[in-house]
Amino acid sequence: MEVNEMNFSELLRKKALEFNSIVCFGADPVMNKIPIKGKDSEENIALFYSRIMDGWKSEDEFPSAVKPNYAFYAQHGFMGLRALKKVIEKAKEMKIPVILDVKRGDIGKTNTAYAKEAFDFWNADAMTAASFLGTDSVQPLLEATKDKPKGVYVLNRTSNKGANDFQSLIAGDKQLFLKISEKINEWSKISEGNLGAVVGATSMNELKEVSNYFVSQNNKIPFLIPGVGAQGGSASEVVQALKETGNDLLVHRINSSSGLNYAYLEYKTNDFVEASIKALKQLNKEIGKIEETECEQ
C-alpha cells in the first residue's frame, strides 16, 4: 500500500512495525545542554540531532516518530527555525513521521493558515492543537488532512500539574477531559483516521478512562503520550493500561524528550550519541516487542 493511500492511523501502524517501536523522540533543543560548542544555534542544533539520527541508523535502533517542539526552535529566531527545517528534513529522509508540536488554537482562516504552515511549509506528518475553542477551531485543521496521511493531535488530558485546574472539573455529569474525549470522538468523523488525542502519562487513571471510552466507541484514536521520564510517567505502566483497556498499541506514540536528548548527563559520559541510543534501547525494551498480531483489525 502506498503512503498516499493511507490515513494517519494506518501510517502510524505501519511505522510501528517497520521500526519495531512506538517511541516518539521529542526533539527539544536546550542550548546549555547541547555539548557542541563554537558554532551558532542553527548549526549546533542541527548537528546535535543529525548525529543522533545517524546513530539510530548505525545501531539499527529507531523511534517511530520525531516530535520537535516549535517553541524550542523559534526562541532562537531565524537560526532556530532554519535548524527546525533541517531536523524535520533529516527525519523525513529517514522516513520517520514528524509530529510538529505547535499546539495551535484559533478559529476559521487562522487555523487554516496554521495547518498550511505545518503540513505544506514544514512538511510535518502531524501537528498538535488546542481543543478549548471547539469545533470551528478543530475543523479547519482536519479539513487540511482530508485524503492525506496527515494527523492532528488535540489536547485531551495533558501531563502537566496544572491540568487539574480545568481538565478535572465536573462539566455536567463527568470531568471536563472526558467531555473533550466525547468531542474528539465526534470530530473524528470529519476526517476518519487522522484525528488523535494528547493524553499524558502522568495520570494513569485518567489515561485508562480516556482509553476505555474510545475503545467502547470502537474508535481507534491515536494517542500522543507525553510525560514519560523527566515528568515521572512510566512507559511500562502506559503499555499495561492500554493493554488492559483493549487498545491497539500500534497507533499510539509514547514520547520522551529530555530522557533521550540528554541521556549523556544521566550516564555521565561525553558521548551524547551513544548515551541517547542506549536510552532509546532501554525505552523500546521497556515498552516491549511490537507484534504483528497487535495490528489485526
Residues forming the active site: 103
Whole-angstrom distance, CA of residue 154 vs CA of residue 157: 9
Whole-angstrom distance, CA of residue 148 vs CA of residue 109: 20
CB atoms within 10 A of CB 46: 22
Whole-angstrom distance, CA of residue 17 vs CA of residue 21: 7
The C-alpha cell that represents 145 in the structure block: 488532512
The phi, psi pair for 202, rounded to 5°, reads -90, -5
Give CA 72 to chain center in angstroms: 15
Which string of b and e fits 155-190 if b means at least 16 CB within 10 Å? bbbbbeeebeeebeeeeeeebbbbbbbebbbebbeb
Strand order in the sheet with 126-129: 65-68, 23-27, 253-256, 223-225, 195-199, 151-157, 126-129, 99-104
Whole-angstrom distance, CA of residue 185 vs CA of residue 214: 7
